[in-house]
């Protein structure tokens, strides 16, 4: 069998972060910075996993890994107990990544024997920046293993294939993170834009638009938990005010959802997107989740008529800047880099998983 390449994109939250915690709608999009896996089937029942970005290179005897029966699958968190001592990788992102692999591999073995495999995954996504790097990795794992096991109909391209990949990737994410929302792996699987409301399945939007953006990593570390708690405290103190802000953010997501699905021409779409990007950032800032570094990014880009908003939890992390047609993206990127920020020129709304 021939080696094959699998890739999956990262994600940004376009609109609706924080409000989504209160049942409002958020819009996320795929960001064309991807994780890439090179999978080579092998005949010796050995499994080798190489993750050069995080220093992992393990080889395991496939016959000694657990075959996870259906009943074992309800508790992805237990994978540590099942294979923990066998993998010999210290605590940290590397160990988490190997556990997710071992879990999905075990699930594959329950249905397809114990196929040998070498898998090397590299990623262009910064880790811990809110860009969904772990979900992109999980989708690459899921798609590579399902393809290896002959469980996909058409190289991951049909609706049924994608549903299966997404379901497996979600389990990989559960091993890595406990209780993820499922939005990141859905974006990495389906690509494009996606509407998400708590308690409902993520809804891929039949969008025809892709957006040019800059993504700027402020390199300021953030705590999602502390930021979410801060918004909660503000809402407890001022419900009559904060609930209106959350509703306004919901309105922004609804507007975006309609825009993405409309056949509006590029210029009209850009103008309206500019407005809601600015509004969403202002509302997040009112909720207290911005940061001086994010405000600096916003000022620099606004001076060149490019609107920005924070993306994800805020308090640092990344900002998202719209790049209207003809805007001086390279000049702004250079200005941001000169201030010590990491700036990526990319596209939101591009393709999902590809084999
Ligand atoms: O920074 P991220 O991608 O982990 O996003 C956090 C999004 C929040 O709405 C702030 C929290 C959440 O659980 O939805």
User: Of 7, 123, 134, 257, which is the active-site residue?
Assistant: 134
Environment class of 95 (CB within 10 Å of its CB; exposed 0-12, middle 13-18, buried 19+): middle
pLDDT tens digits, one per residue of 26-59: 999 999 999 999 999 999 889 999 999 999 999 9
pLDDT for residue 41: 95
pLDDT for residue 72: 60
Q: Please state whether the predicted TM-score (pTM) of the whole model is above 0.80.
A: yes
**How far, in Å, CA of 231 to CA of 233, rounded?**
5
Residues touching ligand 1 (Cβ under 6 Å) are: 13, 17-18, 20-21, 130, 181, 224, 228, 312-313, 317
The average pLDDT across 208-230 equals 92
Identify the bridge partners of residue 34 per DSSP, sorted by sequence position: 9
Q: Which of 169-183, 238-252, 259-273 is modeled with the greatest confidence?
A: 238-252
pLDDT at 77 over 80: no
pLDDT at 178 over 80: no
pLDDT tens digits, one per residue of 313-339: 999 999 999 999 888 899 999 999 999
User: Per mean pLDDT, which range of 6-10, 69-73, 217-221, 236-240 is the poorest?
Assistant: 69-73
Q: Cβ(233)–Cβ(221) under 8 Å?
A: no
pLDDT tens digits, one per residue of 265-290: 778 888 999 999 999 999 999 999 99
Give 313 Cα–ligand 1 centroid separation in angstroms. 5
**Ligand 1 pocket: which of 218, 224, 231 to mutate (most atoms within 8 A of CB):** 224
Give 16 Cα–ligand 1 centroid separation in angstroms. 9
**How far, in Å, CA of 251 to CA of 203, rounded?**
17
Interface pTM, i.e. ipTM: 0.96
Q: Would you call 134 a catalytic residue per the annotation?
A: yes
User: Of 184, 186, 253, 308, which is the active-site residue?
Assistant: 184
pLDDT band at 260 (very low <50, low <70, confident <90, very high): confident
Residues with Cβ within 8 Å of 35's Cβ and at least 6 positions away in sequence, in order, are 7, 8, 10, 121, 122, 123, 124, 125, 133, 136, 137, 139, 140
The average pLDDT across 224-233 equals 95
Give nearest CA residue, ligand 1 atom 5.
Answer: 312
Give 18 Cα–ligand 1 centroid separation in angstroms. 6
User: Per mean pLDDT, which range of 25-34, 104-113, 118-127 is the poorest?
Assistant: 104-113
pLDDT for residue 269: 86
Atom of ligand 1 lying closest to residue 131 CA:
3
The average pLDDT across 245-251 equals 98
**How far, in Å, CA of 203 to CA of 196, rounded?**
6
Give nearest CA residue, ligand 1 atom 4.
Answer: 130
Inter-axis angle of helices 93-112 and 79-87, to 10 degrees? Answer: 110
pLDDT at 298 over 80: yes
Instruction: State how far the alpha carbon of 205 is from the alpha carbons of 66, 163, 192, 259, in Å.
Output: 38, 15, 7, 10
Atom of ligand 1 lying closest to residue 181 CA:
13
pLDDT at 74 over 60: no
pLDDT for residue 71: 59
Q: Which stretches does DSSP call E strand in 240-293? A: none
**How far, in Å, CA of 90 to CA of 351, rounded?**
34
Give 47 Cα–ligand 1 centroid separation in angstroms. 34
Atom of ligand 1 lying closest to residue 13 CA:
3
Atom of ligand 1 lying closest to residue 26 CA:
9
Cα angle vertex 319, ends 316, 322, to 5°?
A: 170
**How far, in Å, CA of 233 to CA of 214, rounded?**
32
**Ligand 1 pocket: which of 312, 314, 320 to mutate (most atoms within 8 A of CB):** 312
Give nearest CA residue, ligand 1 atom 11.
Answer: 18
Calculate the CA 68 to chain-centre distance. Answer: 27
- How much of the chain, in percent, has pLDDT values that exceed 70? 97
């Amino acid at each position: 069998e021939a080696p094959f390449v699998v890739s999956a994109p990262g994600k940004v939250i376009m609109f609706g972060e924080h409000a989504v915690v209160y049942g409002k709608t958020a819009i996320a999009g795929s960001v064309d910075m991807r994780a890439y896996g090179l999978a080579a089937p092998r005949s010796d029942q050995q499994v080798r996993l190489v993750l050069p970005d995080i220093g992992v290179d393990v080889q395991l005897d496939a016959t000694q890994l657990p075959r996870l029966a259906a009943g074992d699958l309800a508790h992805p968190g237990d994978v540590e107990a099942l294979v923990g001592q066998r993998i010999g990788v210290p605590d940290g992102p590397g160990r988490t990544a190997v556990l997710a692999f071992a879990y999905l591999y075990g699930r594959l073995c329950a249905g397809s024997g114990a196929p040998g495999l070498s898998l090397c995954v590299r990623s262009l996504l910064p880790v811990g920046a809110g860009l969904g790097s772990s979900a992109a990795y999980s989708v690459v794992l899921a798609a590579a293993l399902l393809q290896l096991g002959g469980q996909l109909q058409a190289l991951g391209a049909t609706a049924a294939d994608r549903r299966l990949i997404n379901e497996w990737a979600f389990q990989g994410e559960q091993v890595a993170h406990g209780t993820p929302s499922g939005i990141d792996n859905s974006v990495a699987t389906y690509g494009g834009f996606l509407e998400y409301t708590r308690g409902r399945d993520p809804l891929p939007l039949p969008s025809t638009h892709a957006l040019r953006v800059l993504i700027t990593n402020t390199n300021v570390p953030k705590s999602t938990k502390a930021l979410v708690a801060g918004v909660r405290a503000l809402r407890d103190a001022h419900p009559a005010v904060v609930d209106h802000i959350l509703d306004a953010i919901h309105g922004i997501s609804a507007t975006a959802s309609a825009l993405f699905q409309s056949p509006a021409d590029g210029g009209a779409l850009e103008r309206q997107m500019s407005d809601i990007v600015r509004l969403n950032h202002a509302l997040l800032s009112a909720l207290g989740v911005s940061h001086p570094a994010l405000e600096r990014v916003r000022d620099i880009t606004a001076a060149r008529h490019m609107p920005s908003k924070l993306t994800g939890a805020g308090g640092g992390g990344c900002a998202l800047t719209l790049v209207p047609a003809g805007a001086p993206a390279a000049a702004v990127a250079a200005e941001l880099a000169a201030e010590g920020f990491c700036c990526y020129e990319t596209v939101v709304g591009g393709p999902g998983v590809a084999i």
